[in-house]
Structure 1
Amino acid sequence: MTFFADSVGTALVDVDALPWIPFTPYSDEVFLKLIKINPINGEWTTLLKLPAGMALPKHHHAGTVHVYTVAGRWRYLEHDWVAGPGSMVFETAASSHTPVALPEADVIALNIIIGDWNLLDENDNIIAVENWRTMLKRYADYCAATGIEPVDVTSQAGN
């Protein structure tokens, strides 16, 4: 018997060829580069570009998150540490925090997220939910609006 898993190989993704997408409706200044989606476990991998001095909304993660800082320095308002180039942040499932880019430089970070990313208001009520489906829709809509030929970021093959 042959299993699907036997046909899954290593994928190479040409990240430079993927578009930076504005993170609307939350900000026209924050950009995402959707690299890969795994609909089976709800994992989505992105590069995030956050302007110097800017904060993202407070949010809650249903699953785990790994963040590798490529450029710039950032922190969570709820913690004392600062992440800089080469640092890795491991977030537990069910964590909430408010990321802020320090003012000296734009931040670029690789994010590997599993599950929902719930945006919170000032009373910690969920006001929006982001996940692999919303990210895929944002990517497809952006490609359609700008005339870019989308690649299948959900496939096991490379781009």
Structure 2
Amino acid sequence: MMNFETIDTAIIHDEDLPWTPFAPYSGTVEVKLIKADPVRGETVTLLRAPMGTVLPMHHHGGTVIVYTIAGAWRYAEHDWIATPGSIVYETAGSRHTPITIEGHGDATVTLNITTGDLVYFGEDGQMAAIENWRTAVDRYLAYCAEHGIEPRDVTHFGA
């Protein structure tokens, strides 16, 4: 029997996973890691940021698809604004600075499907950090250990 024949549809309940601080980039932004695929270098996350948040500029090594669930946001480098129901497709090699927009609720919440590395830059324009599926899993596991939460295997292809 082939492996693909044993893989079944899975469901992951949002409430089964914790919001974790998006440290060291922000003390107020939170990320919920839903899935991390080490084979494709992909993560599926929720991101929640208070209005008026400016995250560091970052460069995409792969593509990102962002679906806006609540609130509003934009990139400092663009003049469009993403609102609930908007889908933003970010090409590999793009670089931008995310900003949440005041006057659109308490927080912006997005669903993000990210492939490859995100390279973050400091205020001086120098590379500050690299984020990817591994750093996302490490952040999740550290948070679970610190708070006595039994972690789920977010790299598993089943439920």
Same fold (TM over 0.5): yes
Matches within 5 A, 1:55-74: 55-74=54-73
Question: 1:9, 1:156 within 8 Å by CA — same for their partners in 2?
Answer: no
Other-structure match for 1:151 = 152
Greater CA drift, 124-133 or 44-53: 124-133
Deviation per CA, 1:37-85: give whole Å up to 9, x if none: 1110100010000110111100001000000000000000111100000
Other-structure match for 2:127 = 126
Identity value in percent: 50
Matched, 1:142 2:143: yes
Mark the CA change 1:126 to 1:17 in structure 2 (over 3 Å): closer, same or farther: same
Deviation per CA, 1:4-39: give whole Å up to 9, x if none: 222222211111221000011111200000001111
Other-structure match for 2:26 = 27
Question: 1:63, 1:113 within 8 Å by CA — same for their partners in 2?
Answer: yes
Q: Would you identify which runs of 4 or more consecutive aligned residues in structure 1 move more than 4 Å?
A: none
Q: Which amino acid aligns with 2:153?
A: D
Q: Aligned to 1:44, what secondary structure does the other structure show?
A: strand
In structure 2, distance between residues paired with 1:123 and 1:149 = 39
Other-structure match for 2:86 = 87
TM-score when normalising by structure 2 = 0.95
> Any stretches of 5+ residues in structure 1 without a counterpart?
none
TM-score when normalising by structure 1 = 0.95
Deviation per CA, 1:99-124: give whole Å up to 9, x if none: 10001231000000001011013454
Q: Aligned to 1:141, what secondary structure does the other structure show?
A: helix
Query: What is the root-mean-square deviation of aligned Cα atoms in Å?
Result: 1.1
In structure 2, distance between residues paired with 1:42 and 1:115 = 5
